Amino acid sequence: MIKKPNSLWSVKLDWYSQAAIFCLVLIILTGTCSNWIATSKPLYIKNNQNVYFPAFNNKKSYEFTTEQLGKKTYNVENMDWVKLDQTKKVFAPIPYDPGRSDMAFANYKSPYTSFSEAERPFQFVHWLGTNLKGEDLLSGIIHGTSVSLKIGFFSIFIALLIGIFLGTIAGYYQNDTWKVPLFSFILMLMTIIPGVYLADLFSFFAIERFDWKNTGILIGKIFIYIGTLTFILLFSHLTGKLIHKMFRFNKRVYLPIDTLVSRMIEIFSSIPKLMLIVALAAILDRSVTNVIIIIGISSWAGIARLIRGETLKLRNQDFITSAKALGLTNFKIIRRHLLPNISGPIMVSFVFGVSAAILIESGLSFLNIGVPENVITWGQLLADGKNNFNAWWLIVFPGFAIFITVLCLNILGEKFKSLLDPVNRGIN
């Protein structure tokens, strides 16, 4: 295989970028495996010749046989796995659930003192201490990793989808490429309000039919709105074309896509991000999905602006012109020639966006806004430390977790940015 010269993947990275990538891989692994790293359920249990793997499934109750009690059904919710006799058990590395109080270690036990206080196996140490209710901090941090990463990645994914779509069409089509018949244009303008009206009705009937009352109501509504509006606009475009052909009325106008998108970007970047997020959070229910959507739809403007600029730079270059001359469709040019060439800036904005989203999410949950209280996050753990200033571990460790994650992402983003800079690449 021929190695592409000056490609992003062929560059040798510095030691600190390598360290950042290593740390990030570790953090992502911790986040994805949090349910098996920190859980009170044993990973493996052998009782009466039967083998179970409680940590890997969601079974509500188990039937175990012990010498004293005989055969008995145990409920997972409130059972003490440690006291189960006559069984072979292998516990998770951190055998505590987040947010589950351990009365023997209640009232702010620091990381070191807790070691000698209760007689337990070496594995059952609270490595990073506990809070007032005796909840294990390390377990909380590990589970917080998964929440933070989930919110960070998915919200920026949404922002990237919107940003790439609007940015490329604005940069590529500009105001002078997409010519539509005058009738289509007028019909499109006229059918926007009826489209919203129909989308509202459709979303009502869809919610009624599929019983979306609790889960995904916002996502469902957004999809139905987008789908209906697209359909209506397409319909009016086609109708306009038909009228155009029937009456041979040769007037055509350009769709001012760039002006529209630029105005939208300006409006969205004029609204202070945190203010928009707090206002939306006050209106919507508290859930992780809603936080993802809120952060996603409030941070697309910067990405769209960047991508529009990059597309504008490439738009009049020779390879696009020759692709046009070959007779490729606009969609194919964007997909095959434009997007691969702006993948670098997209990656940079993705990395920085994830770090910003993690910061916003932890700031919000520090203020107890947005993420529900029963979901444990880094910001929430840090806010817990404010109740007792003696418990330094409650402030330092969650804060450090956020700091390391954001630092690694920023280092990686800076590295990508400098690699994309032609001046630096020339030297390498």
Partner 1 sequence: MSFIVKRLLWSIPTILAIVIVGFVLLVYTPGDPVKTVLNLSDQEDPLKPVSPHIEKQKKEWEDKLGLNLPIFYFTIQSSVLPDTLYKITDKKEKETIRSLCLSTGQTNMVMDLRRGIKEFKLTWAGEVKNLTPLEKDSLSKEMAEISHNIQLLTYETNKIKIHEYIENLTILTHSNFFSRSHGIMVGMEKEINLRSRPGLEVFAPTIRFNAKSRFHQWLLGDGKYSKGIIRGDFGISYVSKEPIRNHIYKNLFWSVLFSGLGILLAYLISIPVGILSAGINNTIVEKLITVLLFALYAIPVFFMGTLLQTYLANDQYLHVFEPTGIKPVRGFDPDANLIERWIVQLRYMILPIVCFTYASIAFLSRLTKTSMLETFNHPYMMTAKAKGLPYWKILLKHSFRNALIPLITVFANVFPVLVGGSVIIESIFTIPGMGTEMFSSYFSDNIPMIIGIFTLTGIFTVAGFLISDILYVIVDPRIRK
Q: Which is nearer to partner 1, 160 or 382 (CB)?
A: 382
Task: Give me the residues paired with residue 71 across strands.
Answer: 65
Q: How far is the CB of 33 from partner 1 (least distance, A)?
A: 25
Q: How far is the CB of 411 from partner 1 (least distance, A)?
A: 8
Q: Which is nearer to partner 1, 31 or 385 (CB)?
A: 385
Annotate the chain with three-state secondary structure.
CCCCCCCHHHCCCCHHHHHHHHHHHHHHHHHHCHHHHECCCCCEEEECCEEECHHHCCCCEEEEEECCCEEEEEECCCCCHHHCCCCEEECCCECCCCCCCCHHHCCCCCCCCHHHHCCCCHHHCCCCCECCCCCEHHHHHHHHHHHHHHHHHHHHHHHHHHHHHHHHHHHHHCCCCCEEEHHHHHHHHHHHHHHHHHHHHHHHHHHHHHCCCCCCHHHHHHHHHHHHHHHHHHHHHHHHHHHHHHHCCCCEEECCHHHHHHHHHHHHHHCCHHHHHHHHHHHCCCCHHHHHHHHHHHCHHHHHHHHHHHHHHHHCCHHHHHHHHCCCCHHHHHHHHHHHHCHHHHHHHHHHHHHHHHHHHHHHHHCCCCCCCCCCCHHHHHHHHCCCCCCHHHHHHHHHHHHHHHHHHHHHHHHHHHHHCHHHHHHC
Q: How far is the CB of 63 from partner 1 (least distance, A)?
A: 38
Q: How far is the CB of 386 from partner 1 (least distance, A)?
A: 6
Q: Whose CA is closest to 383, among 371, 360, 372, 399?
A: 399
Q: Which is nearer to partner 1, 171 or 379 (CB)?
A: 379
Q: How far is the CB of 383 from partner 1 (least distance, A)?
A: 8
Q: How far is the CB of 107 from partner 1 (least distance, A)?
A: 17
Q: How far is the CB of 270 from partner 1 (least distance, A)?
A: 5
Q: Which is nearer to partner 1, 88 or 263 (CB)?
A: 263
Q: What per-residue string of b and e applies to 320-333 under the rule 16 or more CB within 10 Å gives b?
A: beebeeeebeeeeb
Q: How far is the CB of 284 from partner 1 (least distance, A)?
A: 9
Q: Which is nearer to partner 1, 330 or 388 (CB)?
A: 388
Q: How far is the CB of 197 from partner 1 (least distance, A)?
A: 5
Q: Which is nearer to partner 1, 136 or 384 (CB)?
A: 384
Backbone phi, psi, residue 280, to 5° = -65, -40
Backbone phi, psi, residue 119, to 5° = -85, 100
Q: Which is nearer to partner 1, 103 or 193 (CB)?
A: 193
Binding site for partner 1 (CB under 8 A): 193-194, 197-198, 201, 204-205, 208, 263, 266-267, 270-272, 274-276, 278-283, 355, 359, 362-363, 366-367, 369, 379, 382-383, 385-386, 389-390, 392, 395-396, 399, 402-403, 406-407, 410-411, 414
Q: Which is nearer to partner 1, 52 or 352 (CB)?
A: 352
Q: How far is the CB of 320 from partner 1 (least distance, A)?
A: 27
Q: Which is nearer to partner 1, 87 or 269 (CB)?
A: 269
Q: Which is nearer to partner 1, 55 or 265 (CB)?
A: 265
Task: Give me the residues paired with residue 211 across strands.
Answer: none
